[in-house]
Structure 1
Amino acid sequence: MAQGASHSHKILPMIQRYGFAVVAVLLALLPGLILQHYQFHDVELPLLLFAIALTAWHAGVGPAVLSIVLASLSFDYFFAPPLYTFSVTIADVPAILVLISFALLIARFSAERHRIESQLLQARDRLQLEVVERTQQASLLNLTHDTIFVRDMSDVITYWNRGAEELYGWAPYEAIGKRSNDLLQTVFSTPSDDIGAELLKTGRWEGELRHAKSDGTEVVVASRWSLRRDANDHPVAILETNNDITDRQRREEEIRTLNAELKKRSTDLEASNRELEAFAYSVSHDLRAPLRHMVGYAELLQKNSSAALDDKGLRYMRMILEAAKRMGDLIDDLLAFSRIGRIETQKTPVNLEQLVKEALSEIRPETNGRNIVWRIDTLPVCYGDRSMLRLVLVNLLSNAVKFTRPQPKAEIEIGSVDGNNDEVVIFVKDNGAGFDMKYVDKLFGVFQRLHHADAFEGTGIGLATVQRIIHRHGGKVRAEGAVDQGATFYFSVPKI
């Protein structure tokens, strides 16, 4: 049914066109016959030619051919002697040839006109489609908040979207037709000739630009250019997309400034630390001689003059000797602490299980007569300075032994926990005196103590030494504890 309907729609215009040819010839024939009746001659040929021309112009080539045939027959039958016959004499041939030639010429012009009209209609349709497409594209570009504008190869702006208006402050009617570099006062990060060369070579360019807004303020943009070429590969336009990075660049500049200040402070701090370490080493070393003299003379006094002293004098003498010994220990620890910052680390693979055994052997005198339960887990191999890590374990184990002294049954555990992929985390846990977590930041300071010296001996440098050694290995130290519930110390070192 659909095909039959379509066929009918095709036949109907064809009947109309050929019917137009028949009617045109009849309408030309009728006044010719009337005028012939009233003895007006030589008007029939122009009338028939007009009918042919009208048919060719409006109905096309096929109906024009039909009108030529009908006009020729009508001219021969009604107007060429002998009348009312289809016989053709030599005298009629010129008129018939003129009729046919003129008709063919008109038909040719008509066909050419129809062809040109068809091409114009197709071009108009393509143009309308392109206008619709470009309008849709422009509408879509206006929906985005990105800054987009188009300029020709002379730098004249031809399109300006809403994002460009929002960023720069100029409306489209104010920007279009202006040269973009003049309007925006563009400052290039690289020579503009180099940018143009790269754009022509690759069709693209990306970089940072500085532009001026309508209110005079400066904005920094990340700019992307795309080159558009025509069908002949000639460059015709540049699409420019800009994103405001002013705040980001300002933050980056602030970060660079802060990093420079931090680097300077770090350098100054390192210099101060070196000076402090040298000073501590010098002072500690210089204090040894007078301290040895003081202890030596005090011991001679105790040995040779103790009979002349009463109990109070003897007690004073013991206090002098104990204070001198304590001061000696402080000097030794301070020297060891300053020495750690001065010597180079010699990093090698370290068997932590073997190192724990050596540390336990060193502190064994402190454990004599004690009821201590040791739990030593399987420990991994790490990478570091063996002698320094041995000192870390000695200090932590010695601390655990010391602070579990009040416990009838001390429990000390050494093990490892999961850390990052490139580090080993070791812990030393005890059930000793513990500490209050609000003072945890003081644990690793030099000479910092959370317990009274009468309760637990020590100089307060051991944990500071541990922290300095671990920091030199790129690791971290932390502690957890509670009063009378023990403490756990963690340190991390690089994996092998």
Structure 2
Amino acid sequence: MPWRTGGLLLAVLVIVALPYMITRGSSNESFQAGELVTRSAEVQALVYRVADRTHAAESAIQHLLADDPSSRAEAAALGAENEIPGLLDELRRITADNAIQQHLVEQLSVVENGRLALLHQALQRFQHNDRAGAEQALRDADALFHVDEVADKVVAGAEQSLRQRREAARKQSHDSLLVLTLTSAAQLLMLMIVVIVSERQIGRRLRAEVRERQAVQRSQMILQAVREPIALLDHNLRSLLVNAAFSELYGVSEESRAEYLEDIGQGAWADEVLLQRLRDVLLRDRELWDFELTQRTIDGVERHVVINARRLQQQDSDSPVLLLTVSDVTARALVEQQVKELNHQLENKVAQISDVNRELEAFSYSVSHDLRAPLRHITAFAQKLEDHLGEQADTTTRHYLGVVRDASHRMAQLIEDLLVFSRLGRGALRLQAVDMRALVAETCALAEAEAPGRRIIWRTDALPTVVGDENMLRTVWQNLIGNAVKYTGQREIAHIDISVRHEDDGDHEFIVADDGAGFDMRYVDKLFGVFQRLHKASEFPGNGIGLANVRRIVMRHGGRVWAEGEPGHGARFHFTLSAIEPPPPSP
């Protein structure tokens, strides 16, 4: 990770580079301090040389004046004039970093130049035999230019500078020792950190290697436990690794290596098209998906298999490998064959049902046309017979003729209801968003208008919008609400509740409850049958077809219907519809 590399670089810097830099800096400072000390000593030596050369020149001139001629004395006097300026220049150079000493050296230079000038004057007067002038020049030099005082000042300044520099050197040495001590402590700390981090890193690596080995072992266990045959092939389609399922199905050892795929399983993989497709996967990195093949495996059974293959790149090699998986779909193929046979049988059944539907349609046509005509004739001729008899018909005859007409009307109504019931089972659903609240309000208003003088107390929940055939759902509400109004006819004040609730599966459950005549639950299965009635027609009129229509419509919408009741305590009718939200209205 980047922070580890940065940490190691910092450690190297602290452990190696920083001590080197500090040691080098201390060495340079110590060297500079030594040079300064040496320079102070040189200043003293040069000052002493200047003073010594000056005194030597004066002594030589005095010897000349004392009638002690000597060529050396004259040469010494002349040499001082030539040597002392060079010594003063050297003093200026080595005191260039110290303004105070530079000032003292300039004073010394002025004094020396003046004294040397008088000494030179004394030497010239001597050479011209002016002894008195020469002696006066020497006395003037000694009185006017005090070289020793200025030299002592220069030496004292050099000694003070020397002491200061020695103190600075001592302090620098102390600071260097402190820095080296701190650096050593930092080195030890960094070494400890490096050791600890290294130990932790080694521990993490060892744990990672253990986890990796465990992961490899688990992967191998999973690979061997998978019941789907799996093989790993090299770029020449030779086996590198197979799992137990592959070994069991094709009779190849799990430890076998470098066995060509086409030689495995006694020719089970000898299909040239498949081998070419597998080579394409390796060469062009194309995945092979759901290649269906019929193979005879090592157990002699012909199996329908689906083969998938993809290329993998090895981390430690440039050669790709091929991962091959085999799915035995023999059972699925048999099922598909059975499904085909069942579909064929179903097609035959559908054809038979189509024939039956055509016969039903022919029957409906016959009922709607052939049976209605005789009924119309019976009704018409019964009326004509009554008109023909006129006043001659007695009460019994009129009663019989009335019965004939009523029976004809009832038969016509039964035929009409039967045709409606038949059409409800065959007509296509026209699905749309249906507002159940509006539909119920419309039905309740119509039912109340058809029962004038009745006192009915309605209680209606906030009903949702559903997806369905609006006309068919209107028929459902008309039958259920109409029955509630009809079977509460003997109540002075009727109570009818229309509610909705949500089932656990999310469907809407609609409920119509009344406090009317009710019914015996022993006969609840007859309620939704065609022409089934639990009350006499003289008590409550009707043909017994309404609830059958309700059941058929609800079932066509994917719902269910049931009822609860108790004689004299009313009934509750339930039906469910899907809670799928209706599609948004088109703009």
TM exceeding 0.5: yes
Output one character per residue of 1:198-248: Cα deviation in whole Å (capped at 9) or x when no partner: 34333743424443232211234444434455666334x434333434334
Given candidates 522, 537, 545, the residue that maps to 1:461 is 545
1:25-104 equivalences under 5 Å are: none
Distance 2:523 2:370 in 1: 34
- Pairwise CA distance, 1:279: 2.9
Partner of 1:147: 229
Partner of 1:48: none
Q: Does the CA-based 8 Å contact 1:156-1:176 persist in structure 2?
A: yes
Distance 1:435 1:252 in 2: 50
Q: Does the CA-based 8 Å contact 2:281-2:310 persist in structure 1?
A: no
Q: Does the CA-based 8 Å contact 1:428-1:490 persist in structure 2?
A: no
Partner of 1:233: 318
Given candidates 556, 559, 577, the residue that maps to 1:492 is 577
Partner of 2:246: 164
Distance 2:518 2:275 in 1: 70
Distance 1:463 1:471 in 2: 12
SS at match of 2:368: helix
SS at match of 1:215: coil
Deviates more, 1:172-181 or 1:477-486: 172-181
SS at match of 1:481: strand
The alignment status of 1:397 with 2:481, answered yes or no, reads: yes
1:372-383 equivalences under 5 Å are: 372-383=456-467
Judging changes above 3 Å, is the alpha-carbon distance between structure 1 residues 412 and 204 closer, same or farther for their aligned structure 2 residues?
same
- Pairwise CA distance, 1:438: 6.8
- Pairwise CA distance, 1:394: 1.4
Judging changes above 3 Å, is the alpha-carbon distance between structure 1 residues 182 and 148 closer, same or farther for their aligned structure 2 residues?
closer
Partner of 2:383: 299
Output one character per residue of 1:434-490: Cα deviation in whole Å (capped at 9) or x when no partner: 456676565444434455555543223223333444455x34241221342513132
The alignment status of 1:212 with 2:266, answered yes or no, reads: no
- Pairwise CA distance, 1:294: 0.7
Judging changes above 3 Å, is the alpha-carbon distance between structure 1 residues 330 and 309 closer, same or farther for their aligned structure 2 residues?
same
Q: Which amino acid aligns with 1:478?
A: V
Partner of 1:110: none
SS at match of 1:240: strand
Output one character per residue of 1:395-439: Cα deviation in whole Å (capped at 9) or x when no partner: 221222233345555332222222699975433222344456676
Distance 2:554 2:459 in 1: 23
SS at match of 2:298: coil
The alignment status of 1:283 with 2:367, answered yes or no, reads: yes
Output one character per residue of 1:69-111: Cα deviation in whole Å (capped at 9) or x when no partner: xxxxxxxxxxxxxxxxxxxxxxxxxxxxxxxxxxxxxxxxxxx
Runs of at least 5 residues in structure 2 that lack an aligned partner in the other structure? 1-212, 583-587
Runs of at least 5 residues in structure 1 that lack an aligned partner in the other structure? 1-131
Partner of 1:201: 284
Judging changes above 3 Å, is the alpha-carbon distance between structure 1 residues 139 and 447 closer, same or farther for their aligned structure 2 residues?
closer
Q: Does the CA-based 8 Å contact 1:424-1:495 persist in structure 2?
A: no
1:170-181 equivalences under 5 Å are: 172=254, 177=259, 179-180=261-262
Q: Which amino acid aligns with 2:276?
A: D
- Pairwise CA distance, 1:170: 5.8
Deviates more, 1:259-268 or 1:409-418: 259-268
Q: Does the CA-based 8 Å contact 2:289-2:308 persist in structure 1?
A: yes
The alignment status of 1:481 with 2:568, answered yes or no, reads: no
- Pairwise CA distance, 1:291: 1.0
Output one character per residue of 1:132-154: Cα deviation in whole Å (capped at 9) or x when no partner: 99996767744554423344444
Distance 2:548 2:473 in 1: 14
Distance 2:363 2:431 in 1: 27
Partner of 2:412: 328
Judging changes above 3 Å, is the alpha-carbon distance between structure 1 residues 360 and 264 closer, same or farther for their aligned structure 2 residues?
farther
- Structure with the greater alpha carbon radius of gyration: 2
Q: Does the CA-based 8 Å contact 2:310-2:324 persist in structure 1?
A: yes
Q: Which amino acid aligns with 1:321?
A: R
Which structure carries more helix by proportion?
2
Given candidates 441, 444, 447, the residue that maps to 1:363 is 447
Q: Which amino acid aligns with 1:148?
A: I
Q: Does the CA-based 8 Å contact 1:400-1:412 persist in structure 2?
A: yes
Partner of 1:415: 499
Judging changes above 3 Å, is the alpha-carbon distance between structure 1 residues 395 and 270 closer, same or farther for their aligned structure 2 residues?
farther
- Pairwise CA distance, 1:327: 0.5
Output one character per residue of 1:249-299: Cα deviation in whole Å (capped at 9) or x when no partner: 444554565456546645654664365245314422332222122112223
Q: Does the CA-based 8 Å contact 1:155-1:181 persist in structure 2?
A: no
Distance 1:187 1:404 in 2: 83
Q: Does the CA-based 8 Å contact 1:211-1:219 persist in structure 2?
A: yes
Deviates more, 1:333-342 or 1:284-293: 333-342
Partner of 2:4: none
Q: Does the CA-based 8 Å contact 1:159-1:176 persist in structure 2?
A: no
SS at match of 1:360: helix
Distance 1:149 1:373 in 2: 78
Q: Does the CA-based 8 Å contact 1:348-1:383 persist in structure 2?
A: yes
Q: Does the CA-based 8 Å contact 1:435-1:450 persist in structure 2?
A: yes
- Pairwise CA distance, 1:330: 1.0
Partner of 1:70: none
The alignment status of 1:354 with 2:438, answered yes or no, reads: yes
Output one character per residue of 1:134-185: Cα deviation in whole Å (capped at 9) or x when no partner: 9967677445544233444444445443222444566558998464466262
Give percent identity, aligned residues only. 35
Distance 1:234 1:453 in 2: 91
Q: Does the CA-based 8 Å contact 1:428-1:488 persist in structure 2?
A: yes
Q: Which amino acid aligns with 1:481?
A: E
Alignment root-mean-square deviation, CA: 4.3
Output one character per residue of 1:4-50: Cα deviation in whole Å (capped at 9) or x when no partner: xxxxxxxxxxxxxxxxxxxxxxxxxxxxxxxxxxxxxxxxxxxxxxx
Alignment TM-score, normalising by the size of structure 2: 0.51
Aligned length: 363
Partner of 1:244: 328
Judging changes above 3 Å, is the alpha-carbon distance between structure 1 residues 244 and 350 closer, same or farther for their aligned structure 2 residues?
closer
Distance 1:187 1:451 in 2: 79
SS at match of 1:367: coil
Distance 2:419 2:304 in 1: 56
Judging changes above 3 Å, is the alpha-carbon distance between structure 1 residues 259 and 329 closer, same or farther for their aligned structure 2 residues?
same
Distance 2:361 2:514 in 1: 33
